Chain A
Amino acid sequence: MQKSGAQILVDSLLAEGVDTIFGYPGGVVLPIYDVLYDSELRHILTRHEQGAAHAADGYARASGKPGVCLATSGPGATNLVTGIANAYMDSVPVVAITGQVATSLLGRDSFQEADITGITLPITKHNFLIKDTKDIARTVREAFHIATSGRPGPVLIDMPKDVSTGMAEHLDPGPVQLPGYRFNHKPNPEQIARAVRAIEESERPVIYAGGGVVSGGAHGELLELAEMMLMPVATTLMGLGGFPGDHPLSVGMLGMHGSKYANYAVSESDLLIGIGVRFDDRVTSKLEEFAPGATIMHIDIDPAEIGKNMGVDIPVVGEVRLALRQIIDRLKPRVATQWRDKITVWKKEHPLDFVTNGQLKPQEVVREICNVTRSNARITTEVGQHQMFTAQYYTFTKPRTFISSGGLGTMGFGFPAAIGVQVACPDETVIDIAGDGSIQMNIQELATAVNYNLPVKIAIINNGFLGMVRQWQELFYNRRYSYTELKNPDFVKLAEAYGAVGMRVNNKSELRDVLEAALGVNKPVVLDIPVEREENVYPMVAPGEPIHKMLG
């Protein structure tokens, strides 16, 4: 039986197990929307394509399944770009589908034509321009395979209108055949043996765990390895939740705004075990002085990460989960170590801390959100000080509960991502911890949350500044606050205008009650929480300094 391309597309998505997509219609995707009209595939209409891309991203991070977004050609497609780049930097499996002008109009600057495969070349794992209706089913299969396997990442499919309206037989494409797409699942046994020996011989080992632990489902193995060898675990921003933050061996986050004890531990280690990490500059700061006395071990699925930023002594390429399992199986547990005791002392001597006064502090807000949710919510964030305070003061104990834009640092990510998280986890509490600046970058998605009754909570930590930029101006530009002070709308009224609930925390003593009231409402709630205006995020490694030299 012949089907239209649009029908084949939607049926192929269903065949991949997709239940929900996030999108926004337009001219060249009309045939696809016509099929969606009575399809079992759920479509969530966001209010901006960027929202759709971030929602798909949030959905994927929370569920571990690929997220799907759909947009029309030209401006619709370019509006996805930030979202795609965001997913690329954080290795999130997203399949983005864009409409394109008809093949006969391609390359002629036609109405709403944008070369989206060209534009997204450097920010996708791979992309496709489908030129023939017959190729749709196979392309969709390949796209999902590429997005979800190996090191995950976004894949874009560009579908010209005549490909959607064209008719073809919908044949099962069968297994994927991509001769150029291979990766190592299984680590090299020799490297595993070297890794085991290095761990056995080390006196001051530290694990540095990243997003690859979370996306590779290796949190169980990580816990096992750390406990049997009594190794402290520092995580990156992306790795939060990959190791329980309340565990005695956890030293929290490392790097620019990491804890002092994490940065000290790394700096004094004799073996640094990077797992699913990329030695990003926000972690390492001055590379030459990063873990200067340590043997560097790096376990990752992507061989290109080995040695990209940092020279590596023991590379282990393969699935992190498999690699950790093989390492664990060859090790004998340790009983007690002086190193561990030293870290316990550092933790006592240099705790994460801030000065309290009559004013409500952003750190207190995050801590209270952690208390009232009992560390049991799915938290997204925007980008800025509130993001770092969340990383520092919310204790994440489970993977996929902290969802934040790490690599790209995209303001405006948190709220649409929270919508995607809520769709993936309908029965869980989902909170976007936001800044008053960032939230205004995708505030229109309040309409989406209300429309689909997605009871996402937005906690705006309102300092009336683009706080993180203001902090840099204070520290490095003589307090010249150039264009960082914000005149904000009344967020409570704004929420109400959208049909959501608005609440405000008027003073410190109200905080807990208002938070609990907000969590009790089964609707989207915007919480305006005015805080101390010029609080800074500490500790802080100034740019170019080694990580053991911290301000604050």
Chain B
Amino acid sequence: MLHTLAVLVENSPGVLTRVAGLFSRRGFNIDSLAVGRTEDPEVSRMTIVVDGDDRVLEQVTKQLHKLVDVIKINDITADEYVDRELVLIKVNADHTQRVEVIQICDVFRARIVDMGRKTLTLECTGNHGKINALEETLRPYGIKELVRTGKIAMVRGTKNTGYQENGAKEESL
């Protein structure tokens, strides 16, 4: 099962290596990982999508906690949350296909950001499922190039998974 972890880390050099190294060393599977800074410049937030059962997740969380640079971990899988991914797709679209591709674009509320003689480049944001659907729909036309950011996520409502709530790590036991 896929779990979404919101992980706050010290914005220090090597922190990505530490986290990524931990996953590979202990044989945990990362589905996607997105990282960037937060409202606090000293703190970065990683959204990590991990594949594994509850036992694996428990180990992932506990091992992550042991990294000195990891400040806080929230498994938000069971929460109501907003998640987004950004995708850029360069798809074949000569004059016979162009109209269709543009229609698909409209349906998915994607935007055309570049136009070549035989291709269109689209930008789309949405949750994982929507991006997958767009990708599938465009596949028959011939996708020349595709890049996805991996998912970022935030819990809905007033519940706060950021640094401000409290700096403390949640105890898992």
Chain B residue with the shortest CB-CB distance to A182 = B169
Q: Which of A118, A125, A181 contacts B17, CB < 8 Å?
A: A118
B156: interface (CB < 8 Å)? no
B68 touches A178 (CB 8 A): yes
Give the A-B contact count at a CB cut-off of 8 A: 55
Q: Which of B21, B55, B172 contacts A303, CB < 8 Å?
A: B172
Cα separation A184 to B169 with both chains bound (whole Å): 11
Q: Do A304 and B62 contact each other (CB < 8 Å), given the known contacts A121-B17, A180-B9? A: yes
Further 20 A-B residue pairs, CB within 8 A, beyond A121-B18, A129-B13: A125-B66, A125-B68, A129-B14, A180-B9, A180-B69, A180-B71, A180-B169, A181-B68, A182-B169, A191-B173, A302-B66, A303-B62, A303-B65, A303-B171, A304-B62, A304-B65, A306-B62, A307-B59, A308-B59, A317-B173
Cα separation A188 to B171 with both chains bound (whole Å): 11
Within 8 A of A (CB), among B147-173: 167-169, 171-173
Cα separation A494 to B25 with both chains bound (whole Å): 42
Q: How far is the CB of A18 from chain B (nearest CB, A)?
A: 21
A64-92 toward B: CB 8 Å interface, digit per residue (1/0)?
00000000000000000000000000000
User: Among the interface residues A121, A180, A182, A184, which one has the most CB atoms of the partner chain B within 10 A?
Assistant: A180
B67: interface (CB < 8 Å)? yes
B55 touches A180 (CB 8 A): no
B5: interface (CB < 8 Å)? no
Within 8 A of A (CB), among B110-141: none
Q: Which residues of chain B are near A125, meaning CB under 8 Å?
A: 66, 68
B46: interface (CB < 8 Å)? no
B168 touches A182 (CB 8 A): yes
B58: interface (CB < 8 Å)? yes
Chain A residue with the shortest CB-CB distance to B69 = A180
Within 8 A of B (CB), among A281-337: 302-304, 306-308, 315, 317
A179: interface (CB < 8 Å)? yes
Q: How far is the CB of B20 from chain A (nearest CB, A)?
A: 10
> Which A residues are closer than 8 A to B by beta carbons?
117-118, 121-122, 125-126, 129, 146, 178-182, 184, 188, 191, 302-304, 306-308, 315, 317
Q: Which residues of chain B are near A306, meaning CB under 8 Å?
A: 62, 173
B17 touches A304 (CB 8 A): no
Q: Which residues of chain B are near A303, meaning CB under 8 Å?
A: 62, 65, 171-173
Q: Which residues of chain A are near B58, meaning CB under 8 Å?
A: 307
B10: interface (CB < 8 Å)? yes
Q: Which residues of chain A are near B18, meaning CB under 8 Å?
A: 121
Q: Which residues of chain A are near B71, meaning CB under 8 Å?
A: 179-180
A180 touches B171 (CB 8 A): no
Cα separation A184 to B62 with both chains bound (whole Å): 13
Q: How far is the CB of B142 from chain A (nearest CB, A)?
A: 41
- Residues of B within 8 Å of A, CB-based: how many? 27
B48: interface (CB < 8 Å)? no
Q: Which residues of chain B are near A317, meaning CB under 8 Å?
A: 173
Q: What are the 10 tightest A-B residue pairs by CB atom distance, in nearest-first order? A: A304-B62, A180-B71, A126-B68, A179-B167, A181-B68, A317-B173, A180-B70, A179-B71, A303-B62, A182-B169
Q: Which residues of chain B are near A178, meaning CB under 8 Å?
A: 68
B2-37 toward A: CB 8 Å interface, digit per residue (1/0)?
000000011001100110010001000000000000
Q: How far is the CB of B123 from chain A (nearest CB, A)?
A: 34
Q: Do A121 and B173 contact each other (CB < 8 Å), given the known contacts A303-B65, A304-B63? A: no
Chain B residue with the shortest CB-CB distance to A187 = B173
Cα separation A181 to B71 with both chains bound (whole Å): 8
Q: Which residues of chain A are near B10, meaning CB under 8 Å?
A: 179-180
B79-121 toward A: CB 8 Å interface, digit per residue (1/0)?
0000000000000000000000000000000000000000000
Q: Which of A129, A146, A181, A307 contacts B55, CB < 8 Å?
A: A307
Q: How far is the CB of A173 from chain B (nearest CB, A)?
A: 16
Q: Which residues of chain B are near A121, meaning CB under 8 Å?
A: 14, 17-18, 21
Q: Which residues of chain A are near B55, meaning CB under 8 Å?
A: 307
Q: Which residues of chain A are near B69, meaning CB under 8 Å?
A: 180
A117 touches B14 (CB 8 A): yes
Q: Which residues of chain A are near B25, meaning CB under 8 Å?
A: 122
Q: Which residues of chain B are near A315, meaning CB under 8 Å?
A: 173
B171 touches A146 (CB 8 A): no
B173 touches A180 (CB 8 A): no
Q: Which of A129, A180, A188, A304 contacts B59, CB < 8 Å?
A: A304
User: Among the interface residues A184, A303, A315, which one has the most CB atoms of the partner chain B within 10 A?
Assistant: A303
Q: How far is the CB of B146 from chain A (nearest CB, A)?
A: 31
Chain B residue with the shortest CB-CB distance to A178 = B68
A146 touches B68 (CB 8 A): yes
Q: How far is the CB of B164 from chain A (nearest CB, A)?
A: 12
Chain A residue with the shortest CB-CB distance to B25 = A122
Q: How far is the CB of A73 from chain B (nearest CB, A)?
A: 18
Q: How far is the CB of B108 from chain A (nearest CB, A)?
A: 40
B66 touches A304 (CB 8 A): yes
User: Among the interface residues B17, B63, B66, which one has the most CB atoms of the partner chain A within 10 A?
Assistant: B66
Q: Which residues of chain B are near A302, meaning CB under 8 Å?
A: 66
Cα separation A39 to B63 with both chains bound (whole Å): 40
Q: Which residues of chain B are near A180, meaning CB under 8 Å?
A: 9-10, 67-72, 169
Q: Which residues of chain A are near B172, meaning CB under 8 Å?
A: 303
Q: Which residues of chain B are near A146, meaning CB under 8 Å?
A: 68
Chain B residue with the shortest CB-CB distance to A304 = B62
Chain B residue with the shortest CB-CB distance to A302 = B66
Q: Which residues of chain A are near B14, meaning CB under 8 Å?
A: 117-118, 121, 129
User: Among the interface residues B59, B168, B173, which one has the most CB atoms of the partner chain A within 10 A?
Assistant: B173
Q: Which residues of chain A are near B9, meaning CB under 8 Å?
A: 180
Q: Which residues of chain B are near A117, meaning CB under 8 Å?
A: 14
Cα separation A308 to B60 with both chains bound (whole Å): 10
Cα separation A191 to B13 with both chains bound (whole Å): 38
Q: Which residues of chain A are near B171, meaning CB under 8 Å?
A: 184, 303
Cα separation A122 to B18 with both chains bound (whole Å): 8
Q: List 13 A-B contacts (CB under 8 A).
A: A121-B18, A125-B68, A126-B67, A129-B13, A146-B68, A179-B71, A179-B167, A180-B72, A303-B62, A303-B171, A304-B63, A304-B65, A315-B173
Q: How far is the CB of B167 from chain A (nearest CB, A)?
A: 5
Chain A residue with the shortest CB-CB distance to B66 = A304
Q: How far is the CB of B44 from chain A (nearest CB, A)?
A: 12
Cα separation A303 to B13 with both chains bound (whole Å): 26
Cα separation A129 to B12 with both chains bound (whole Å): 11
Cα separation A423 to B15 with both chains bound (whole Å): 37
